[in-house]
Structure 1
Amino acid sequence: MANQQETWTVLKVLTWTKEFLAQKGVENARLESEWMLCAVLGLDRVGLYVNFDKPLTEAELSGYRGMVTRRSKREPLQYILGSQEFMGLEFEVSPAVLIPRHDTEVLVAEAAARCGEHCRILDIGVGSGCVSVALAKALPTATILGVDSSPQALVLAQKNADKQGVTVSLFEGSLFEPFQDQRFDLIVSNPPYIPTDDLKTLQPEVRDYEPIQALDGGADGLDFYRLIVPAASDYLNPGGWLLFEVGVGQAEAVLGLLDKTGFGELFTAKDPNGIERVVGGRLL
């Protein structure tokens, strides 16, 4: 898109961008090109298709060039667009938080299925607020608290709760630190679980842009489970549940931690790819 005198129609821009981004190693280059152009033009994808012959103004081209340049450096599309869909809800995202993954929807579903009408829920490592906010939507009479060590993440989580019209009480701190003498019916967490040595093998979008503190789970990826599981019984009501998202191949180890710490009714749940993604148990 270098020649300023050339007429750049919607179709021509998309064709050029698809080739350019594909050469940079971007998967789904055509679809991502469309999403970025939708954002610049204020159209949906159907709107793009019925305007293939529409020339872009210089201001539109300039805005689009900026997005394409960022994406060519493998910055995640979600950070460029500023949002990500999760459980049918739109969440604002920034480099301060992990981008919500659809795998995590399994954690929300399993948590919601184990809650009574007026249960108290604690979300450890709230990030963008996707788990807390989705639970608040699914369980409108529940009391939901969230904690994160990142003040920037908490600001974003609060914005997402406000946008969805739900109440989530958010606290800055490490794990259970802000909740002395409090008890919950369910504790849920999607902690950092990537083994440290595996971080360098991740896609550039993850490795170079998403917050390292939300990814690094220590040597074997299990550091946070070892911290949370033994402490959780001091913060759960009798019969309360503790649920985690886990990484590939970690379910058995986390089940073992729960088993030896006095949890029963242990279970796992698979994500859409058949990976054991959720591990949980009940305080006996």
Structure 2
Amino acid sequence: MPPGLSGARTIESARRVLTARFAEAGIDSPALDARLIVGHALSLDHTGLATQASRSLSESERAAIAALAERRLQGEPVARIIGVKEFWSLPFALSSATLVPRPDTETVVEAALEAIGEQRKHDALRIADLGTGTGAILLALLHEWPNATGIGTDIDPQAIETARANAKALGLASRAQFQIADFETELGERFDLVVSNPPYIPSRDIAALDREVREHDPLRALDGGADGLDAYRAIARAAPGLIRPGGHLILEIGAGQEADVRALVSSSAALEWCGTRHDVSAVPRALWFRRGPG
């Protein structure tokens, strides 16, 4: 049991003890992680934690909190522990086959909204999300565009089931389909918008990734091959058959990959680069391409 937690008699004191312990361990967001873990262990939301802050904890409740806290101290991401991560202000359930949706990937959603524009947001747009994982990008866009429909593909059946469950939980199941497929699978139609956050970490760099990523995210959702560009090559080959004239392609990229991916997609798929969107750390994160009208 984390030091001091055995003496934590109330919900608030348990939060304080965990916050201090997480801070000592170098965890980036100790107060937030403590709140999430205590809330998950006690099945309380933020309001419940606040209104019941002075409530006494039972021995079994302290043990439940301690068990989750120990997992966090061993390097397991808090989102994995509680089984859900917020993305685009929407809750997404996770599974072992999916990445944890990250704030950087919201840059792809922002780029897609810019590409389509305000004038078309009520159109019956068709979207494809390649390597959908939790379904986060596709479902965030369907949430923004009330008349859009789309399909998410992934090579992992468990990821597909996770995405389907998220679509149902968010009330979007009637507008979202999911299919087991790789990046080059023909989907039988062309789309107004294709989006993807593909694997882009060079194989040699996997071992140096942060422990929370290296030990807990699925390898095949990270490993982009020798140079990190294997998935982009596949997407570029498939793009002419997936994007209708005038349609758009938005790709998440890793740090330092902008020039290579721009050149690859522009030459292989004959798509015009329209812009690059940077994430909150000013890193180029989403590339926007457009297919000509012909």
Corresponding position of 1:188: 195
Partners of 2:53 and 2:250 in 1: CA distance? 48
Corresponding position of 2:277: 269
Pick the aligned partner of 2:180 from 172, 177, 182.
172
Q: Partner of 1:239: helix, strand, or coil?
A: strand
Q: Partner of 1:111: helix, strand, or coil?
A: helix
**CA 1:256 to 1:67, structure 2 compared with 1: closer, same or farther past 3 Å?**
same
User: Partner letter of residue 263 of structure 2?
Assistant: G
Identical aligned residues as a percent: 35
- Deviation readout 1:148-204 (Å, 9 max, x if unpaired): 00111111100110111112110002123251x421122111001111121111111
* Stretches of structure 2 lacking an aligned partner (at least 5 in a row): none
- Deviation readout 1:7-29 (Å, 9 max, x if unpaired): 63234323332343344442222
**CA 1:235 to 1:48, structure 2 compared with 1: closer, same or farther past 3 Å?**
closer
Query: 4+ residue runs of structure 1 moved beyond 6 angstroms?
Result: 2-5
Partners of 1:135 and 1:206 in 2: CA distance? 26
**CA 1:5 to 1:209, structure 2 compared with 1: closer, same or farther past 3 Å?**
closer
Deviation at residue 63 of structure 1 after TM alignment: 1.4
**Mapped contact 2:200–2:224 kept (Cα < 8 A):** yes
**CA 1:185 to 1:45, structure 2 compared with 1: closer, same or farther past 3 Å?**
closer
Corresponding position of 2:225: 218
Corresponding position of 1:153: 159
Corresponding position of 1:8: 9
**CA 1:177 to 1:136, structure 2 compared with 1: closer, same or farther past 3 Å?**
same
Partners of 2:207 and 2:257 in 1: CA distance? 19
Deviation at residue 54 of structure 1 after TM alignment: 2.9
User: Partner letter of residue 154 of structure 1?
Assistant: I
Pick the aligned partner of 2:150 from 133, 144, 149.
144
Corresponding position of 1:240: 247
User: Partner letter of residue 86 of structure 2?
Assistant: E
With 273-282 and 46-55 compared, the bigger mean Cα shift is at 46-55
User: Partner letter of residue 182 of structure 1?
Assistant: E
Q: Partner of 1:229: helix, strand, or coil?
A: helix
**Mapped contact 1:172–1:178 kept (Cα < 8 A):** no
Matched, 1:250 2:257: yes
- Deviation readout 1:197-243 (Å, 9 max, x if unpaired): 21111111100001111111112211110111122112221122111
Corresponding position of 2:31: 30
Partners of 1:3 and 1:228 in 2: CA distance? 52
With 2-11 and 209-218 compared, the bigger mean Cα shift is at 2-11
Deviation at residue 257 of structure 1 after TM alignment: 1.2
Deviation at residue 39 of structure 1 after TM alignment: 2.0
Pick the aligned partner of 2:141 from 135, 139, 144.
135
Partners of 2:19 and 2:212 in 1: CA distance? 18
- Deviation readout 1:115-140 (Å, 9 max, x if unpaired): 34122111100100101111111112
**Mapped contact 1:255–1:280 kept (Cα < 8 A):** no
Partners of 2:220 and 2:46 in 1: CA distance? 35
- Deviation readout 1:249-271 (Å, 9 max, x if unpaired): 11111111122131124311111
Matched, 1:18 2:19: yes
Corresponding position of 1:205: 212
Query: Over aligned residues, Cα RMSD in angstroms?
Result: 2.1
Partners of 2:143 and 2:178 in 1: CA distance? 16
Partners of 1:150 and 1:144 in 2: CA distance? 18
**CA 1:69 to 1:226, structure 2 compared with 1: closer, same or farther past 3 Å?**
same
With 192-201 and 18-27 compared, the bigger mean Cα shift is at 18-27
Deviation at residue 6 of structure 1 after TM alignment: 4.8
With 66-75 and 22-31 compared, the bigger mean Cα shift is at 22-31
Q: Partner of 2:91: helix, strand, or coil?
A: strand
Aligned residues: 283
Deviation at residue 246 of structure 1 after TM alignment: 0.4
* Stretches of structure 1 lacking an aligned partner (at least 5 in a row): none
Corresponding position of 2:68: 67
**Mapped contact 2:154–2:181 kept (Cα < 8 A):** yes
Q: Partner of 2:280: helix, strand, or coil?
A: coil
Q: TM (normalized to structure 1)?
A: 0.92
Corresponding position of 1:81: 82
Deviation at residue 50 of structure 1 after TM alignment: 5.4
